[in-house]
């Protein structure tokens, strides 16, 4: 892939905003973009939500194979605005929310740093009409008060992604106005449909494949516009918001897997039977497509919906495991769980890199002691895991890890698929154990405006120091090396790039004294801070 080292600074048009990038964090998601490029769900063409054709004439819109600029963990200063910009003024420092969810791509949504040029450059052009939520009217440039380091603000985006995975609301009923598919194996009773409807209303349409006439009679009582089919395979993929299957056929479940729409829920009602073998499930779509799998060993569909938690929050007494805990985002999850305020928590942090595990241990041992949390560090290449867990966080994009979490599950286990397993990846999982143990796997992709505001409030109030995550800093000259470090996982923490420092190489905080001793003097107990940042900008200025 050809990389460019220079780029003209654009001039803002009438509705446009030119921002100067003060700091940008490097993320493993940037590497996924570089590797998948036009196959990445957020690099796709926007297919809906742009009724006014705003993107068509915007030079920063780079879908499909068009070259783009990565970088989505950014804090910027507004440098200039067009004469029709109404709500943004030059000179204001802003945190960039990156996920424009109203602009839909085929499998995700438009996003800053993907199909819209991102912040790994000195200046970025934005359009005010694109970055304002059409429903709430809120700008996705969040004003920041003076006093906080640029790095701590840039780190709010990844911390908000972590926060979102714990606090996002889960749907617990059949959606009102949805497309519902019901399939029933011969001899199975259809129970619990009406009781599972949303209080806001029934589904709009119902598609059924039933083996028995009595099943069809039950379905007719629902009084919904119904289409009867004879072959599930003939139905369009990803077209049903809710699927309920009264049966235990592995083959049927795998067909139904493909029919589930984004944000859809599939409910497997086993009726006392077992599937009897692993089932191929689109685990990647749990993260990128927000799909959900539930089930019951009984014959009442209502029981499955009762296993859905309100959110993905940890609970008192949870036996938690963070798989891949010593990486930059994994560290955030460990810290987030320790500081969750829950009682009687145990946290097992695993990683194959002993040096990174030791770094995590140094950062978190005192914090765990303060919160009375039991903390254990394991290199699974050396020490085997001999216990089961009620809360699993998956930090590596590997489907087999989801299968392992199910195998090692307790009753009511929550499985937080945080890593972006590619959307097209399927994994054989023990769905019998998943259902019997009332497991619930979930995932979130990116963050919402509310998540960023929650984390910003914590940072501003001194409840959270996001600079805790910073392990290295760089100017533009070290950005490519920084990306390689992210890819190779050679730095146990986040890397912050300061684009204004054009010639500065990548520097680990632990080695800062060798290059900029006056900066090293201001690093406190290995933690980056605003004083160190200010000295770096002075000392490393070109």
Q: Please give the span between the terminal C-alpha atoms of the chain, in angstroms, as a whole number.
A: 28
Query: Strands 319-323, 346-350: parallel, antiparallel or unpaired by DSSP?
Result: parallel
pLDDT in tens, 407-428: 999 999 999 999 988 888 999 9
pLDDT in tens, 275-290: 999 999 999 999 989 9
- Domain extents for the chain? 16-148, 179-308+429-439, 319-387, 467-539
Q: For residue 247, which of 269, 227, 221 has the smallest C-alpha distance? A: 269
The radius of gyration of the chain from alpha carbons, rounded to an integer in Å, stands at 24
CA 79 – CA 348 distance, rounded (Å):
46
The answer to whether 193 and 244 have CB atoms below 8 angstroms apart is: yes
Q: What is the pTM of this model?
A: 0.85
Asked: is 319-387 a CATH 3.20.20.70 domain? The reply is no
The answer to whether 138 and 276 have CB atoms below 8 angstroms apart is: no
pLDDT in tens, 307-321: 999 999 999 999 999
Angle between helices 354-370 and 328-338 (to 10 degrees): 20
Conformational region of residue 344, where left means phi above 0, alpha means psi within -120 to 50, and beta covers everything else? left
Identical fold for domains 179-308+429-439 and 319-387, yes or no, is yes
Helix or strand (DSSP H, E) at 159: helix 156-167
CA 148 – CA 15 distance, rounded (Å):
29
Residue 444: φ, ψ to 5°: -130, 155
Three-state SS for 251?
helix
Q: Map tokens 């001793």 to a residue.
A: 517
CA 293 – CA 415 distance, rounded (Å):
11
CA 143 – CA 228 distance, rounded (Å):
54
pLDDT in tens, 227-237: 999 999 999 99
pLDDT at 1: 47
* Burial per residue of 359-392, b for 16 or more beta-carbon CB atoms within 10 angstroms, e otherwise: bbbebbeeebeebebebebbeeeeeeeeebbbbb
The band of 505, judged by pLDDT with boundaries at 50, 70 and 90, is very high
Question: What kind of architecture, by CATH, is found in domain 16-148?
Answer: Alpha-Beta Complex (3.90)
pLDDT in tens, 461-484: 988 889 988 999 999 999 999 999
Give the CATH class of 179-308+429-439.
alpha beta
Instruction: Determine whether 355 is exposed, middle or buried from the number of CB atoms within 10 Å of its CB (0-12, 13-18, 19+).
Output: exposed
């Amino acid at each position: 892939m050809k990389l460019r080292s220079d780029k003209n600074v654009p001039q803002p048009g009438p509705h446009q905003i030119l921002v100067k990038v003060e700091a940008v964090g490097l993320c493993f998601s940037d590497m996924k973009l570089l590797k998948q490029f036009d196959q990445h769900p957020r690099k796709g063409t926007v297919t809906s939500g742009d009724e006014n054709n705003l993107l068509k004439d915007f030079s920063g819109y780079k879908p499909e194979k068009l070259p783009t600029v990565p970088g989505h963990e950014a804090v910027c200063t507004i440098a200039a605005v067009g004469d029709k910009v109404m709500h943004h003024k030059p000179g204001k420092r802003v945190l960039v929310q990156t996920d424009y969810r109203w602009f839909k791509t085929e499998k995700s949504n438009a996003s800053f740093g993907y199909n819209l040029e991102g912040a790994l450059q000195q200046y970025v052009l934005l359009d005010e009409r694109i970055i304002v939520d059409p429903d709430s009217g809120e700008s996705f440039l969040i004003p920041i008060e003076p006093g906080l380091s640029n790095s701590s603000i840039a780190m709010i985006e990844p911390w908000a992604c972590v926060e979102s995975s714990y606090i996002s609301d889960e749907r617990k009923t059949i959606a009102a106005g949805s497309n519902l598919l019901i399939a029933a194996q011969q001899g199975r009773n259809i129970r619990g449909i009406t009781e599972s409807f949303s209080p806001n209303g029934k589904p709009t349409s119902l598609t059924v494949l039933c083996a028995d006439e009595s099943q069809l009679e039950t379905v007719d009582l629902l009084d919904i516009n119904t289409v009867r089919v004879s072959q599930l395979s003939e139905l369009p993929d990803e077209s049903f918001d809710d699927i309920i299957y009264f049966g235990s056929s592995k083959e049927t479940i795998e067909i139904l897997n493909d029919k589930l729409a984004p944000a859809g829920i599939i409910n497997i009602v086993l009726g006392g039977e077992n599937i009897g073998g692993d089932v191929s499930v689109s685990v990647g779509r749990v993260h990128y497509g927000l799909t959900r799998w539930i089930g019951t060993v009984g014959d009442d569909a209502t029981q499955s919906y009762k296993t859905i938690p309100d959110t993905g929050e940890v609970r008192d007494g949870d036996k938690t495991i963070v798989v891949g805990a010593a990486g930059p985002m994994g560290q955030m999850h460990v810290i987030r769980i320790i500081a969750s305020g829950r009682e009687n928590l145990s946290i097992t942090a695993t990683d194959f890199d002993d040096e990174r595990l030791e770094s995590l241990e140094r950062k978190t041992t005192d914090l765990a002691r303060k919160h009375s949390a039991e903390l254990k560090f394991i290199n699974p290449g050396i020490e085997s895991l001999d216990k089961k867990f009620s809360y699993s966080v998956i930090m590596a994009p590997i489907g087999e890890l989801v299968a392992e979490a199910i195998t090692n599950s307790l009753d009511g286990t929550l499985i937080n698929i945080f890593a972006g397993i590619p959307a097209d990846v399927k994994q054989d999982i023990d769905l019998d154990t998943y259902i019997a143990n009332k497991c619930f796997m979930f995932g979130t992709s990116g963050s919402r405006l509310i998540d960023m505001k929650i984390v910003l409030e914590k940072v501003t109030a001194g409840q959270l120091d996001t600079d805790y995550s910073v392990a290295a800093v760089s100017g533009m000259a070290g950005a490519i090396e920084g990306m390689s470090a992210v890819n190779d996982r050679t730095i146990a923490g986040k890397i912050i790039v300061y684009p204004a420092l054009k010639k500065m190489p990548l520097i680990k905080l632990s080695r800062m004294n060798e290059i900029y001793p006056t900066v090293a003097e201001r690093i406190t107990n290995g933690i980056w801070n605003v004083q160190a940042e200010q000295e770096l900008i002075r000392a490393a200025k070109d």
